[in-house]
């Protein structure tokens, strides 16, 4: 509840002051908080950033509560979609909070990096000898670290932090609906959640692996394109923030970033053709696309400045290795022919 108190102020700010879609505010809020923590960590100011985010969040929460009490803002009663997602969170969160980490990969990177962040309030260095997967940035780990810093460090808390980020992306899918009063489309989206849990055998919610989180964040970005299809600046801001987070979850997430940006640019061209925006808006749209990769580029710069032999580390891939691979394929095909 304490972490919710710090974050609900930001969500209400984006929803009431900036008129953002209520289905998208949570994934936007979590993504923005994570990016702020990430930038602070790069400048060795991680703990002050936590205090600053919590302090400002508490002020915004109290401010918004006063506005609800004085009826300057209308409190919106949760509808069946919001209640359904809340039940989803409570059902899984109550179980995961008491669950241990099971998958061995949690202890090779994902949980290990969160524990290091929690203990040191800074990114690892070469001397710490903790990072061997140099192509794994610390995107979602920053958000999990934030939750553990507010609540308490435990395996269950880490799982709940990952669950919050995942469910915020799933909740954003409802923002793509044209008419929320129709029960069938919403029921189909809820049904897809059940299919995810049923057939996603390898990557379930009881671990910190990100292979499920990657497409969820990409879909949340795409849902923003549908929700803000006639609102260029809100669509651009949502795309930039969510894809900025996606770019530092895992290097393979860049593939999903590219897909979401293709959808985003399609909607931008659509707005230009319908004369809702001018052709010169294509330049800020291209800037949005480029800045979506900036967090990943900052991670690459950080690794090159603070770690040696990054290209020879585990999971690192160089262009020369790719070239050698294709040359081998070509020689094998040539011998057969």
3-state SS assignment for residue 95: helix
DSSP 203: S
Q: Residue 123: its pLDDT value, please?
A: 87
| CB contact set of 298 (below 8 Å; sequence gap of 6+) | 39, 42
Please answer whether residues 142 and 117 qualify as being in contact, where contact means their C-beta atoms are separated by less than 8 angstroms. Answer: yes
Q: Residue 68: its pLDDT value, please?
A: 87
| pLDDT by 10s per residue, the chain, length 337 | 667 778 898 999 999 888 999 999 999 999 999 999 999 999 999 999 999 999 999 999 999 999 888 888 888 888 899 999 999 999 999 999 998 887 777 777 788 889 989 999 988 877 766 665 566 788 899 999 999 999 989 999 999 999 999 999 999 999 998 887 788 888 888 888 888 777 776 677 888 888 889 999 999 999 999 999 999 999 999 999 999 999 999 888 999 999 999 999 999 999 999 999 999 999 999 999 999 999 999 998 888 887 776 555 444 444 444 344 345 544 554 554 4
DSSP 101: P
Please answer whether residues 172 and 223 qualify as being in contact, where contact means their C-beta atoms are separated by less than 8 angstroms. Answer: yes
Please answer whether residues 202 and 151 qualify as being in contact, where contact means their C-beta atoms are separated by less than 8 angstroms. Answer: no
Please report, for residues 217, 246, 253, 254, 324, the alpha-carbon distance to residue 214 in angstroms, rounded to integers and kept in the order given.
5, 7, 6, 9, 29
pTM score of the predicted model: 0.88
Q: Residue 107: its pLDDT value, please?
A: 74
């Amino acid at each position: 509840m304490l972490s919710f108190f710090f974050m609900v102020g930001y969500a209400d700010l984006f929803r009431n002051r900036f008129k953002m879609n209520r289905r998208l505010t949570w994934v936007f809020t979590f993504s923005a908080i994570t990016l702020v923590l990430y930038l602070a960590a790069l400048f060795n100011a991680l703990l002050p950033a936590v205090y600053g985010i919590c302090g400002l969040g508490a002020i915004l929460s109290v401010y918004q509560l006063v506005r609800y009490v004085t009826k300057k803002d209308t409190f919106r009663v949760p509808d069946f979609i919001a209640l359904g997602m809340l039940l989803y969170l409570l059902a899984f969160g109550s179980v995961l909070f008491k669950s241990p980490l099971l998958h061995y990969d949690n202890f090779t990177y994902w949980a290990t990096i969160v524990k290091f962040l929690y203990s040191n309030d800074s990114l690892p260095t070469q001397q710490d000898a903790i990072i061997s997967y140099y192509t794994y940035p610390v995107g979602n780990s920053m958000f999990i670290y934030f939750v553990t810093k507010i609540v308490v460090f435990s395996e269950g808390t880490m799982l709940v932090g990952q669950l919050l980020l995942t469910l915020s992306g799933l909740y954003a899918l409802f923002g793509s609906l044209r008419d929320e009063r129709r029960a069938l489309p919403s029921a189909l989206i809820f049904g897809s959640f059940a299919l995810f849990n049923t057939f996603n055998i390898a990557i379930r919610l009881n671990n910190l692996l990100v292979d499920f989180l990657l497409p969820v964040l990409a879909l949340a970005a795409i849902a923003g394109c549908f929700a803000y299809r006639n609102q260029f600046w809100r669509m651009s801001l949502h795309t930039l923030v969510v894809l900025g987070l996606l770019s530092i979850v895992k290097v393979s997430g860049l593939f999903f970033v590219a897909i979401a940006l293709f959808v985003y640019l399609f909607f931008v061209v659509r707005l230009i053709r319908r004369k809702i925006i001018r052709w010169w808006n294509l330049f800020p749209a291209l800037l949005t696309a480029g800045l979506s990769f900036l967090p990943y580029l900052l991670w690459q710069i950080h690794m090159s400045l603070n770690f040696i032999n990054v290209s020879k580390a585990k999971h690192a891939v160089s262009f020369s290795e790719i070239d050698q691979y294709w040359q081998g394929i070509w020689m094998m095909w040539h011998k057969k022919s």
